A and B are shown apart, each in its own frame.
Chain A
Amino acid sequence: MTTTTTDLVIGMAGSGGDGIVSAGESLVAAAARDGYHAMMTKSFGSQIRGGESSCRVRLSTAEVLNPGGALDVAVALNWEDFLKFGAELPVSGGTVMIYDAATGVAPDQLPLAGVKPAEVFPVPIGEIARKATGTDKARNTVVLGLLSGWFGIVREGVMRGLRKKLAKKGQAVLEANERAFQQGIEYAASHPLQTPRTMEKPADSGAKLLTDGNDICAAAALFAGCQFFGGYPITPSTEVMQLLTREIWKYGGAVLQAEDEIAGIGAAVGASFAGKKSMTATSGPGMSLKTEMIGLATIAELPLVIVNVQRAGPSTGMPTKSEQADLYQAIFSAHGDAPRPVLAPTSVSDTFDVTVEAFNIAEQYQTPVIVLSDQEIAQRKEVIDPIDTSRFVRVDRLRPTPAELESYARFHITESGISPISHPGMKGGNYLGAGIEHNERGEPTASGSIHQQMTDKRFRKLLPLRGREDLFRIEGDENAPLALVSWGSTAGICREALRMARAEGLRVKLLVPWLLYPIAEKVYRRFFASVRAGVVVEQSQQGQLYRVLRMELDLPRGLRSFCRPGANPFRPAEVVAALRDAALDLQRRAHHQQPQE
């Protein structure tokens, strides 16, 4: 009997030089060429070179929402390194376990703490590689052959990828690798799975994009019209700057790799003052340093996009691991009453939407905007559908008219709170920009009443954001008593959990905010109208969104926080379990409230 599947989660580990990550990259690139959707996450030891490395690849015929839970297929080039990734590469009773027979471990004595995989294949991976190519180096290519053979995937895509990748290395190297790949396939053919699992062909095999959250963020900035980036290298955000250093010049813009985080945002503030759409990107430690400048952009009313790719922990914490614990900082950092919009993408694809939106909001409201990405989204590779860029508008800041320039007041108090903004070079628009409180003309003041008016103005102009329903994604049963709320990379896990929970009969719906601040009260109120219980799922010890919502809204009594710090992502099954608990809780309460007869 042949079983087919539409979704396959593969996990691989080896030592640093084994090319495991490179195999994963080949796999997702091949998947993209063959029209599959895919997602790849990497995990390393802390060394720059050597040490252990692993990756997970999830292939699907439909959109991939998250890296998935337990592995369908596990590949260990050696056991020592594989076992270091116990949390990232969980093996279950449904897993097909493949490992290099040279490790000498007997199939019935796997070091998996009692877990019995569905099928176990000790494969002489190194031996096949040596026979095909003369070296061990092609072990990763053999693995690709095995996967291709057993699961019927990406044969064409891998071959094309090999040709592309090895073209420069000469015909001999290419042929050797093609042999290694072929022999992997043949090995799989002569050792069939007991329960065959062939991947179905993708329904829509149209062209796909292969990218990650950081790269697409940079591309979105260019699309939005970004003309300046100032920043400083920091994991896991550096790729945003790297892509811009390659591309921005072509669009008449410039990048300044500054001497420190403060100078990076400082230069970006300067470029915005000079009239250009401007951006910086960083991670937690950099955000801490940039905070004073964010306050400056707030009071000087300068548009600026600040991307924080969150990593785990305070101080240095865990730079290569994901967490969602910078929400408080994003909303509340900087002294004084300094409001600012905060947005968060939830996937590689919507990082494009959210980044373009961040530029538009920054320009429209002349304010710094924080984009809270996270390491999980920023550094995972995804195969996604092309994005129709014609559906986006690009907003430019409001400029003064010639009449307004006759007697220009930069911070003119208007009903909307937005005043036309000039820039150096514009005749008649001359003004003093400042971190000092100022009157309408930009002149320094210590007047309490002017401070009140200007503070009102800076808050008032952001009010329309509270009505931006389009910055929320709602799915599920509209009248459900159960709710899921989630943001950032965790939202992708909750989208899958929602489907699983509904499939088992729970009446549940999901709210995913792209806009985290200001709080869009009406959107939440409408969503919560039917809700009696549920969970706010996020990756922080404190459950920061839950607490911010509690601070600003009356929440349904049964809505709880379901949170823990990074670095391991939630699994959809855990979220479903939390929903079941919420449902039970609800039943108990209902029982309790029944009138006594």
Chain B
Amino acid sequence: MTSLPSFSAKDFKSDLKPIWCPGCGDFGVLQAVYRALAAVGRPAHEIAFVSGIGCSSRIPGYTTAYGFNSVHGRALPIAQGIKLANPDLLVLAAGGDGDGFSIGGGHVPHAIRRNPDITYIVMDNQIYGLTKGQLSPTSPKGLKTATSGYGSLENPVNPLLYVLAYGAPFVAQGTPADMSGLAQVIEEAIRYPGFSFVNVQSPCVTYGEEEGQVKAQKARMKTLQSLGHDPADQLRAIDLARSSGTELYTGVFYRNPEPAPTLDALVRERKEQLGKDALPRERILELFLQR
């Protein structure tokens, strides 16, 4: 009997050195991704890891997976194309809060309603770091940044509520302040059959606020488990998500206990159903033959 290959975190670490600032929360996310991938146990060449643009979107290059560091805000459409083209792949998408909830915000509801088996990790630092400290869609109201010198006039997006409202079947939050918890929710998300979303409170050490840093997070974070939250309870999950910004909850907000068929499974089924009706490609023009 042959045993399944087993992997360790370092199997997923590439030779590229991250460009992130020392102490950036994204280092923690990267470590958590390595651990989660090792636990899931798919070889790196069967993984496609897609991102947009931003500090955090550099992450695919730091793994040994097939990476695609695409254009700003478009990780999800590209990831869905990959998944539909080859449903056997493990497909991850990742990016920052600007990528996912500002420029690419329009793609999120559609990925959710299609329900491809993709995991989407957002590294939410409430700031635009790569462009040196401008307002982001999750910046708190009143925040002074390079583009809001007098304080932001806008309410932030609540990423958890956003995805829960569109019916995402798996929604979790983690932070590099709790590495084992973060690795665990990412692993669970990857294992979930359907669209899974992980929001990571990943602090920006250079432009972020003091209360967002790992040390401050450690003082205020609470696990959902410690609250006795049942992840099958969607309404309670929505209720808990409403306090994002004031409370820092970690763990699984919502896990649909009865996963619906994924888009890729439905596509596979349709191909199987219709495949037998195909004209040979060479005779495709007979579609237009007039008799």
Contacts and interface: CB of A to CB of B under 8 A. Distances in A.
B282 interface: yes
Interface in B85-122: 85-86, 88-89, 106-107, 109-110
Interface in B241-291: 267, 270-271, 273-275, 277-279, 281-285, 287-291
Given A209-B290, A259-B106, A273 B78 contact: yes
A432 B278 contact: no
B45 A426 contact: yes
Nearest to A277: B85
B254 to A, nearest CB: 23
A424 B46 contact: yes
Interface stretch (A106-114, A181-189, A385-393, A500-508): A385-393
Given A209-B288, A256-B80, A424-B86, A223 B271 contact: no
Query: Which of A300, A386, A435 has the largest number of chain B CB atoms within 10 A?
Result: A435
B85 A274 contact: yes
A581 B102 CA distance: 58
Contacts of B74: 262-263, 266, 293
A247 B287 CA distance: 10
Given A209-B289, A210-B288, A425 B77 contact: no
B47 interface: yes
B69 A267 contact: no
A432 B58 CA distance: 10
A444 B66 CA distance: 14
Contacts of A251: 275, 278, 281
A425 B45 contact: yes
Nearest to A292: B71
Given A262-B74, A274-B82, A424 B290 contact: no
A139 interface: no
B16 interface: yes
Interface string A215-254: 1100100110101101000000000000000010111111
B70 A254 contact: no
Contacts of B70: 266, 269, 296, 300, 433-435
Interface residues of A, number: 69
B164 interface: no
A553 interface: no
B129 interface: no
A264 B84 CA distance: 13
Contact of B85 (A270, A292, A386, A436): A270
Nearest to A266: B77
Nearest to A302: B68
B77 A274 contact: no
A209 B110 contact: no
A383 interface: yes
A273 B89 CA distance: 12
Contacts of A431: 66-67
Nearest to B279: A250
A30 B233 CA distance: 63
B45 A228 contact: no
Given A249-B270, A432-B61, A271 B288 contact: no
B107 A32 contact: no
B84 A208 contact: no
A450 interface: no
Interface string A427-457: 1111111111000000110000000000000
Contacts of A282: none
A268 interface: yes
B81 A425 contact: no
A395 interface: no
A278 interface: yes
Contact of A269 (B47, B61, B78, B287): B78
Nearest to B48: A424
B76 to A, nearest CB: 8
A262 to B, nearest CB: 6
A434 B81 contact: no
A290 to B, nearest CB: 11
B183 interface: no
A207 B289 CA distance: 7
A474 B285 CA distance: 27
Contact of B274 (A208, A228, A249, A435): A249
Given A263-B74, A263-B107, A426-B45, A228 B290 contact: no
Contact of A271 (B66, B81, B279): B81
B28 interface: no
A259 B84 CA distance: 16
Nearest to B277: A250
B173 to A, nearest CB: 25
Interface string B190-226: 0000000000000000000000000000000000000
A217 to B, nearest CB: 12
Contacts of A32: 290
A223 B45 contact: no
Interface in A121-152: none
B288 A228 contact: no
B234 to A, nearest CB: 24
Query: Which of A227, A251, A296, A424 has the largest number of chain B CB atoms within 10 A?
Result: A424
Interface string B37-73: 0000001111110100100001011001111111100
A260 interface: yes
Nearest to B114: A256
Given A254-B267, A273-B78, A276-B85, A436 B274 contact: no
A278 B254 CA distance: 35
B61 A256 contact: no
Contacts of A270: 50, 68, 77-83, 85
B86 A425 contact: yes
Given A33-B290, A210-B288, A444 B86 contact: no
For the complex of A and B, list the 10 residue pairs with the smallest distance between their C-beta atoms, beginning with the closest. A270-B81, A266-B77, A267-B81, A250-B278, A270-B78, A271-B85, A263-B77, A274-B85, A32-B290, A211-B288
